[in-house]
Amino acid sequence: MKTILEARDLCKTYIVDKRQNNVLKNINFSVKEGEMVAIMGPSGSGKSTLLYTVSGMDDATGGDVFFEDKNIAKLDGNELAALRLDEMGFIFQQMYMMKNLTILDNIVLPAMQSKKTKETKKEKMQRGEALMRKLGIIEIADNDINEVSGGQLQRACICKSMINKPRLLFADEPTGALNRTSSDEVMEELVKLNREGTTIMMVTHDAKVAAKCSRVLYIVDGTIQGEYNLLNDCSPKERERALNNWLMDLGW
């Protein structure tokens, strides 16, 4: 499989009260097309910082991040914005939507901003509706964001993240604000997207969520302490049990 994302000696440092805080320390890893990779670790270990830095939402202090053959640190602001808009999708724990737009209008907004295709507005709206049907939420297309459940809103966020057909989907605690039923439903949709070819990299504290991925990176104090490949030829319970045992060995 082709490598779609690679971090080489990635570092991120913040200065807080004149003190240097090294959040990421010489991180090295790669993600291949079609993978679903989870990032796990204790609170404050650098999980979200890693996700934001490799996606170009935050600048690295040192090292390089390659998205396919492009070093995102070398891109100017406009090039990086276009790359994130057209080739990357983003899902967050807090579900960001414009309050003055309907659910469908929120979903197609990135498509309206993109110059990736020459589709008409009608064609983009139809594609947004098709995504909503696929995720089972077409009935809320004309609703405001305060008229739907958390699970429905997060599935709408998935639709929004997929509207420009991204090569790589980043998710930061995508189920963190949901109850278990909604969490399971959202993860089911993400697994479907991955099986259809979308590469996914997510931060999660939930071993049950991470067990649905193909690989887990465990980060502590800004360094990757371990990597675990999950087997496909066992049941979900067995995958979860094996992952939990590995995490416990690492001090989880």
What is the pLDDT at residue 17?
80
Q: Which two tokens stand for residue 174?
A: 């995508």
Residue 157: in which H helix or E strand, if any? helix 150-162
CA–CA dist 33, 58 (Å, integer): 23
Task: Decide: helix, strand or coil at residue 3.
Answer: strand
Residue 188 neighbours by CB under 8 Å, 6+ apart: none
Cα angle for residues 214, 54, 37 (degrees, 5° grid): 5
Q: What is the pLDDT of residues 142-197, one digit of tens each?
A: 999 999 998 999 999 999 999 999 999 999 998 888 888 888 888 998 999 999 99
Confidence of residue 19 (pLDDT cuts 50, 70, 90): confident
Say if residues 157 and 189 touch (Cβ distance below 8 Å).
no
CA-only gyration radius of the chain, Å: 18
Bridge-partner residues for 5, per DSSP? 31, 67
The reported pLDDT for the residue numbered 42 is 93
pTM: 0.92
Q: What is the pLDDT of residue 18?
A: 78
In eight-state DSSP terms, residue 65 is E
Terminal-to-terminal C-alpha distance of the chain: 31
Are the C-beta atoms of residues 193 and 135 closer than 8 Å to each other? no
Q: 24-51, pLDDT tens digit by residue? A: 999 999 999 999 999 999 999 999 999 9
What are the pLDDT digits (tens) for 87-139?
999 998 777 899 999 999 999 999 999 988 889 999 999 999 999 999 999 99
State the pLDDT at residue 183: 87
pLDDT for 56: 93
All structural domains of the chain: 3-98+167-249 (3.40.50.300)
